[in-house]
Structure 1
Amino acid sequence: MKGLVSAVGVMLAAVLMSGCSSDYVMATKDGRMIMTDGKPAIDKETGLVQYTDEQGHQMQINGDEVSTIIER
């Protein structure tokens, strides 16, 4: 019985943790739609928007090129 309770607890924790990361869509002023894995971060000093693309690569785009950022 303890093993079953532990297994259910681990599965519940995994489901809850997987729901913490939301995906976002960034629309650029030239009409591109950029899908991100997680929330993009805006660097106030440089003006760059840092994000992880759907393939897991760390990317940056000039914040002046981004028109909107929307959570999916």
Structure 2
Amino acid sequence: MKQTVLIVIFALGLAACSSEYLIATADGQIITTHEKPELDRDTGMIEFEDDEGRTQQIPQSQVKQIIER
């Protein structure tokens, strides 16, 4: 019984620590990512991993807003 309670508490703790980011683009798209998008200063592109685990890039000029949720 104690083991089950500890597992549930641990699982809830992990879920509370994860962050989701929303990227709003200039053309009205909303892109969801589970990792913080990063700016590649050499190329001027915002790089992130999409929901399917693929690395994506979009020009910084096309990003209107990045929100942590």
Task: Summarize deviations over 1:4-42 as a string: whole Å, max 9, x none.
Answer: 878866765554444433111101011111111211111
TM-score normalized by the length of structure 1:
0.71
Partner of 1:68: 65
Give ranges in structure 1 of 5+ residues lacking alignment.
none
2:17 aligned counterpart, secondary structure: coil
How many aligned positions are there? 69
Runs of 5+ consecutive residues of structure 2 not aligned to the other structure? none
Pair member with larger Rg: 1
Correspondences of 1:1-72 after superposition (within 5 Å)? 15-72=12-69
Identity score, percent: 38
| C-alpha contact (below 8 Å) 1:37/1:56 kept by paired residues | no
After TM superposition, the score normalised by the length of structure 2 is 0.74
- CA shift for structure 1 position 56: 1.5
